[in-house]
A and B are shown apart, each in its own frame.
Chain A
Amino acid sequence: MKKFKINSVEYSIDTEKTIFEFLKDIGIYVPTLCYHPYLRPIGSCRVCVIKDRGKFKNSCATIIDDGMDIETHTPELIEMRKWILQFLFSERNHYCMYCCVTNDCEFQNLGYYTGLDHFHFPTFKNIFDIDNSHPYILFDNNRCVLCSRCVRVCSEVAGHFVLSENNKGEHSIIVADNGVQFGKSSCTSCGLCVQVCPTGTFVDKYSMYLGRSWETQKIGSYCFSCPVGCGIEIYKRGNNIVKIYSDWDSFTKGLICHKGRYEAVINYRKYKNGSNIDIYENLNKIVKDIDESSVAVVDGTLFNEEIEKIRGLFPKTFALYKVNPKILDNPISFDELDNYQTYIIAGWDLNKEYGTIGSVIKRNKYYRNCKVIYLDEGKFEISGKTIFIYKNYYSSNFLNGLDCDHLVLPLNTNDVGLLKLIGNKTLQEIDNLEYSSLFIFSRDLNLNISNITGRFKRRFLFTIDVDRYSELFDEVFPIVSEFEVKGSFYNLFNQLLCVDRVFDREVV
C-alpha cells in the first residue's frame, strides 16, 4: 500500500499507476501534450508538470510512490506550464489562422487553457519543406511539436515502423523511412499518425475543411471494407462522411488500415448519389419478374439480412464464388493472434490486405522477435507455436501434417455469413441450366461476372456502380452503400457484428 498526498489531501493505492492517471481518476485536470492514453508515455513535453517534495516531475510518466507530496496547481506550476507552452509555440509555424486544423487542435486548446495571448520567442526560425507527396496525408513539419506520438503509434500500435525523428535541437523533424518523400516511403496509409497528431502536422487531405470534429456527429461502427471488421468511428456531417477514425475501445484496439480509413470514405462520396434507395425497395420492383426459372447470385459484400431476404424471394440462390468452408473453423480471436511464435503467410500481402492482421504480425515480429515466413520463399523452418494464415483457397496441401493452427482469410467481408446462409455452391457447378433469368446482387466494385452472364435470357444486376456493367445486363439497379444500411455480418473470427444505418435515406 502506497500512501501519498495530493494538494495536501491524503490518498493511498495498492496498484501501480502514474500520477496523471490517478489525478484523472479523482477528477483533477492537468494538461498534457505528448501523452496519449493508448501509447507508451515518454514524458518529453513537460506540459503535465507537477511538484513533488520540492522537485518538478512529469505526471504522465511518473509512477506514484510511497510518501509523495504532490502539488498540481500552485501559481508557480501554472506559470511554469505557460512558459513550457511558450517554448513549444516558438521556432515553428503556429499561425493558427492559416492552419487547416485551427479550432480543432489539441495544441491550440492548450494555448487557450493556459491563457497564451502572444508568442514570447521568435517563430518561423527554420523553415521546412511541406511534403505533399502522399496520396491521403499532408505532412508539414513546420507545425510539429516533436511529441513523437506519430512515431510511437506507427511502431508500437500499427507495427509499420515508417516514422522516426531526425536531426537535433531546433532542426529536429519527423521523417518517413529515414528521409524518403512520404508518398514514396513504405507508409501503408493506415492514417494512425494523423489520428494521434495533436497539431496540424499530419492532416487528412480528404477531410480538411469539411467539418471540425465538434461540428460532426460521431457514430461507432465496424469497418465493412474487409473481413476483419475493425472497430471504427464515423464522423458524419450533413450527408457526408468527414472522416473515419479507428476505435481504441473496440476488439481491434485502435487498429485500422487504408481501406477502412480512406478508401471507404472516397468510395462513399463517389457512389452515394442516386443510390439512396435500399435493396429491399428495388427488390419489390422486380418481384413480378421472379419465377421458377429465376436464379439469384449473391456474395459476401451483402449483410446477413440482405442475403436472407434474397434467399426468401428466389427459388434458388447461389454464391458468386467458392468460400473455403474452413473459415467456420477459424480457431482464434483477434486478441489471440498475438500468441504465436511463427507466422506463415500465403497468398496475401501483409501491407495491402487485411491490414490490421498485418499490423499485429509485424508488431510481434519486432517486439517479440517472432518469425514471419512467406510461403513462396521456398524452404523454411518453424519454431514454437505456429499459425498458417492464408487467403481463401490457397493450396496448402504440403502443409498438411505440419503441427500448426490454420487461419483462412476469406475474400469478402461477410463470406462467413454467406457460407452460413447460402453454402458455397456456385452457379458454375450446375450443368443443366433450367434457369433463364439471372439476378446478381453485390457491392463489389470489381465484379468478375462476364463468365456467368452469357447463358441467360434475362439478366439483372444490383450494384453500387450502376454505370459500369450496364452493357452486360438488361437492367441495373442501384443498391445503397454499406453506410446506408442497418445490418449485421460475421467477420473472419466468426464474431457477429452489427452496424447502424449512418445516413438516413433522403425522402424524395
Chain B
Amino acid sequence: MKKKKLVSTIWCEGCSGCHMSFLDMDEKLVDLIKKGMTFSATPFTDLKIPPHGTDIGIIEGSVATDTQEEEVKMMRERCKIVIAIGDCAVFGGIPTMRNKYKTTEIFSRAYKQAETNHNQHLPSGEDISKLLDRVKPVNEVIKVDYYIPGCPPTPEAIYEALSKLIEDQSPELKGKLLSYE
C-alpha cells in the first residue's frame, strides 16, 4: 500500500471562499481519501496547528498581519510541499486594495470615522495582531511550491492539483482550471 499523504490547511487574510471550494470537492474528497490522503489541521478536524511532517500544506489568504507572517513561516517549516490557493494567497487579492493607503489611515477610517462606530476607540493590546504596511502574497514571505489561483479556485482545479500530488507528480493547471477572475 502507498504511503499516506497528510494534508493541513490554514486561512490567513481571505474570505474562506477557497476553503468552501475545497469542501465543494464533495465526493471527490472521498476519492482522495481512498487514494491515500489524510487530513490534519483542516475544517474537518478544526485543529489550527499543522503537525510536523505534514506532506501538503495549503494556504488560503494573503499575508496582512505579523501573526499571519508567523503562521505561513510555520507552514513552510512543517510542510514538505506548500500550495498557495486562491487569488489572495497567490497574488495578494482583494486585501491588497488597502495597499493604496497607510495603516494609520485605515485604522482611522475603520475605528474613528466609521459611521457605526460611536466610541471611536482604537483597539489595542498585546494579543492583537499588527497590520503589516503592505498586504503580500504568500510567495513574498516564504517559498511556495505550487499555485492554484482563482477567486475562488474551482473544486476541479483543487482536485486536479491534489490528485497529481498524491501520485508524486507536478500539477499544472491549464484551460478552464487556470483562472484569476
Chain B 95-112 near chain A by CB (<8 Å), digits 1 or 0:
011011000000000000
Bound CA span A373–B173, Å: 61
Given A95-B92, A115-B172, A117-B173, are A124 and B99 also a contact pair (CB < 8 Å)?
yes
Of the listed stretches B22-30, B47-55, B137-145, chain A binds B137-145
147-180 of chain B: CB within 8 A of chain A:
147-149, 151, 172-174, 178-180
Interface centre among A108, A115, A118 (most CB of B within 10 A): A118
Which residues in A have their C-beta under 8 angstroms from that of B96? Answer: 93, 95, 123-124
Q: Is A31 an interface residue (CB 8 A)?
A: no
Given A97-B151, A118-B144, are A108 and B172 also a contact pair (CB < 8 Å)?
no
Given A96-B181, A117-B173, are A127 and B93 also a contact pair (CB < 8 Å)?
no
Q: Is A380 an interface residue (CB 8 A)?
A: no
Q: Is B18 an interface residue (CB 8 A)?
A: no
Bound CA span A95–B99, Å: 12
Contact call A119/B137, Cβ cutoff below 8 A: yes
Bound CA span A102–B92, Å: 16
Contact call A97/B92, Cβ cutoff below 8 A: no
Q: Is B131 an interface residue (CB 8 A)?
A: no
Q: Is B11 an interface residue (CB 8 A)?
A: no
| 22 contacts across the A-B interface (CB closer than 8 A) | A94-B91, A95-B91, A95-B92, A95-B94, A96-B87, A96-B181, A97-B87, A97-B180, A97-B181, A98-B94, A98-B97, A102-B181, A103-B181, A112-B178, A115-B172, A117-B173, A117-B178, A118-B137, A118-B144, A119-B137, A124-B134, A127-B100
106-120 of chain A: CB within 8 A of chain B:
108, 111-112, 115, 117-120
Q: Is A384 an interface residue (CB 8 A)?
A: no
Which residues in A have their C-beta under 8 angstroms from that of B87? Answer: 95-97
Closest Cβ of chain B to A122, distance in Å, is: 7
Bound CA span A490–B172, Å: 57
79-132 of chain B: CB within 8 A of chain A:
84, 87, 90-94, 96-97, 99-100
Which residues in B have their C-beta under 8 angstroms from that of A102? Answer: 180-181
A-B pairs with lowest CB-CB distance, top 6: A97-B151, A118-B147, A96-B180, A117-B147, A124-B99, A102-B181
Bound CA span A123–B135, Å: 10
Which of B's residues lie within 8 Å of A, judged by CB? 84, 87, 90-94, 96-97, 99-100, 134, 137, 139-140, 144, 147-149, 151, 172-174, 178-181
Contact call B147/A95, Cβ cutoff below 8 A: no
Q: When the two chains form the complex, which single residue of A97, A103, A119 contacts B94, counting CB atoms closer than 8 Å? A: A97
Which of A's residues lie within 8 Å of B, judged by CB? 93-98, 102-103, 108, 111-112, 115, 117-120, 122-124, 127
Which residues in B have their C-beta under 8 angstroms from that of A112? Answer: 178-179
Which residues in A have their C-beta under 8 angstroms from that of B93? Answer: 95, 97
Bound CA span A102–B151, Å: 12
Which residues in B have their C-beta under 8 angstroms from that of A111? Answer: 180
Q: When the two chains form the complex, which single residue of B100, B139, B181 contacts A118, counting CB atoms closer than 8 Å? A: B139
Closest Cβ of chain B to A67, distance in Å, is: 37
Which residues in A have their C-beta under 8 angstroms from that of B173? Answer: 115, 117
Which residues in A have their C-beta under 8 angstroms from that of B149? Answer: 117-118
Which residues in A have their C-beta under 8 angstroms from that of B174? Answer: 115
Having A97-B180, A103-B181, A123-B91, one finds 15 other A-B pairs with CB under 8 Å, namely A96-B180, A97-B151, A98-B94, A108-B180, A111-B180, A112-B179, A115-B178, A118-B91, A118-B139, A118-B149, A119-B91, A119-B139, A120-B139, A123-B92, A124-B92
Closest Cβ of chain B to A393, distance in Å, is: 55
Bound CA span A97–B92, Å: 11
Bound CA span A124–B172, Å: 27
Closest Cβ of chain B to A62, distance in Å, is: 30
Q: Nearest B residue to A117 by beta-carbon distance? A: B147
Which residues in A have their C-beta under 8 angstroms from that of B94? Answer: 95, 97-98
Closest Cβ of chain A to B31, distance in Å, is: 24
Contact call B178/A122, Cβ cutoff below 8 A: no
Bound CA span A124–B140, Å: 13
Bound CA span A122–B133, Å: 14
Bound CA span A94–B87, Å: 11
Closest Cβ of chain B to A139, distance in Å, is: 16
Bound CA span A102–B137, Å: 20
Q: When the two chains form the complex, which single residue of A115, A117, A122 contacts B90, counting CB atoms closer than 8 Å? A: A117
Closest Cβ of chain B to A25, distance in Å, is: 27
Which residues in B have their C-beta under 8 angstroms from that of A94? Answer: 91
Q: Nearest A residue to B87 by beta-carbon distance? A: A97
Closest Cβ of chain B to A171, distance in Å, is: 17
Q: Nearest A residue to B137 by beta-carbon distance? A: A119
Which residues in B have their C-beta under 8 angstroms from that of A108? Answer: 180
Closest Cβ of chain B to A92, distance in Å, is: 11
Closest Cβ of chain B to A9, distance in Å, is: 27
Bound CA span A127–B137, Å: 17
